[in-house]
Amino acid sequence: MAEWWRGSVTYQVYPRSFQDSDGDGIGDLAGITARLPHLAGLGVEAVWLSPVFRSPMADMGYDVSDYTDVDPLFGDLAAFDAMVARAHDLGLKVIIDQVISHSSDQHPFFKDSRTSRDAAHADWYVWADAQADGSPPNNWLSVFGGSAWEWDSRRRQYYLHNFLPSQPDFNFHNPAVQEWLLSVLRLWLDRGVDGFRLDTVNYYFHDAALRPNGPMPPKEKWPPVNPYEMQDHRFSKSRPENLDWLQKMRALTDAYPDRTMVGEVGDAPWRNVQIMADYTRPGRLHMAYSFDMLEPEFTAAHFRDKIEGFFQGAPDGWPMWAFSNHDVIRHASRWAEHGTPDAVAKLAAVMLLSFEGSICLYQGEELGQVETDIAFDELTDPPGLRFWPDYKGRDGCRTPMVWDATAQGGFTTGTPWLPVKPAQLARNAAAQDGVAGSVLEFYREMLAFRRATPALRAGRTRFFDVPEPVLAFARGDALACVFNLSPRPVTLAATGAMLDAAPRHAAHLEAGRLVLGPNGFAFLQAKGGLTVSSV
């Protein structure tokens, strides 16, 4: 299918937390395979797996020690192949995380690199001498706190790590590194995956001159919990050399039919749009996965600004939008003040699935799942441990999928790696399956509507100028999407007719007036023109 990814909906699986098949409390590939019918029945088109490669798990698999094999925690290559085969049988594409900006310090290449400045892989990672006073080469900071440089007593140099010290950065200025990483991508394409989600895609190259970063403009709450946010990371990431590397990856991917690449892009707000535009120009990434909607802000102006900004900056590019993932507070909790839990969950679903672009859902959001309250002694996440209690880390959104109301939610027969708590058990899949009005059934309804409505997959977006708290836009020439982002009723002037086949909530249209109740929404179709405006 040509460009199957354009307008598609992908479901992110966090393998540790999806389904445990062997009772060790950690999700695995066999468990994912057993639960794939849930995804097919939900109506998504692809599944994205967070990393399952061999890893010491210092950062839960985002520290890879062997890019060619599956970690025994999750199974083996045969289990991986079985999962891919079953997904394809069900009509699902499989996208896998590729964490190639850095490796684990347990990777054989890094172990060799640190032994000597003359080692075979000496220049495969980013090494630099100390300054005369012994301090790091520059002021670059780690996302996870502290300096981005770690002293190594064997080489008597510093090495670069944008994340944990156990996650050293590859040196992409070395052509041999690029060629080897292309061979890694080729291996998994040959194995039958349908594409890659490229972790930290704008971190590949660093400034070869190691110029220091400048400050960020102060914000309302300053200083932040993590000093990383105080720095403008102009030289430590998003370097222009990245563009040629993206083209090499795209050329490789295009050598295989119907494959795709989506890159995780995150940078300063004033630079992010331009980066996404540059990265998704023809011959580079198929899609850019944006952090822009993973924030606390929940206003019509915010969503409009991000969508318009992307397509103005990248008219030939294509975004992938998400409201939740494994790194942020679940949106049902993040936006809880804007309505009742189920109303916010459904409103978020109908909005996201109406946006122009491709969509990514995070496991559990189809249940209206909320953030888990994690105690300090339950934490596993490194930044949570470092910045507690002002930042509690990412464990709260990574707790196990809740399939039923049994003690561990049907996730495991053992002790889960993160706790399953009553607030999450209350939103289990079995209790919502087939129940009219449940969040799960609403997701199925809305996903079916998106698949059946060409305008939602391919129609261009035209926003209507209406005041907060209403977000309203046309997709194509004949479909209007109108959402009340507040728990208060609003009234609008509108032409067109209510589209009865579409999902709607607390919406009434009569005599040119559209009344939306708390968190209400509706789809209108054109009758001699389509307008939505304030009364």
Query: Catalytic residue numbers?
Result: 199, 264
State the amino acid at position 412 in one-letter form.
T
State the burial class of residue 154 (Cβ atoms within 10 Å of its Cβ: 0-12, 13-18, 19+): exposed
Locus of tokens 């029945």: 41
Q: Which of 67, 204, 177, 77 is nearest to 123 (CA)?
A: 177
How does DSSP classify residue 103? -
State phi, psi for 510 to the nearest 5 degrees.
Answer: -155, 130
Structure tokens at 362: 């995070």
What's the first-to-final CA gap in the chain, in angstroms?
A: 45
SS3 content of the chain, % helix, strand, coil (to 5): 30, 20, 50
- All residues at 6 or more sequence positions from 298 whose CB lies less than 8 Å from its CB, including other chains: 334, 335, 338, 485
Strands 195-198 and 260-265: parallel
- Rounded distance, CA 93 to CA 89, Å? 10
Bridge partners, 507 (sequence order) = 516
- Rounded distance, CA 364 to CA 424, Å? 10
- Name the 3-class secondary structure at 64: coil
State the amino acid at position 206 in one-letter form.
H
Cα torsion through 205, 208, 210, 212, rounded to 10 = -60
State the amino acid at position 519 in one-letter form.
N
State the burial class of residue 425 (Cβ atoms within 10 Å of its Cβ: 0-12, 13-18, 19+): middle
- Preceding amide of 469 cis, omega within 30: yes
How does DSSP classify residue 102? B
Cα torsion through 153, 154, 158, 160, rounded to 10 = -120
- All residues at 6 or more sequence positions from 41 whose CB lies less than 8 Å from its CB, including other chains: 444
Cβ(166)–Cβ(107) under 8 Å?
A: no
Cβ(369)–Cβ(402) under 8 Å?
A: yes
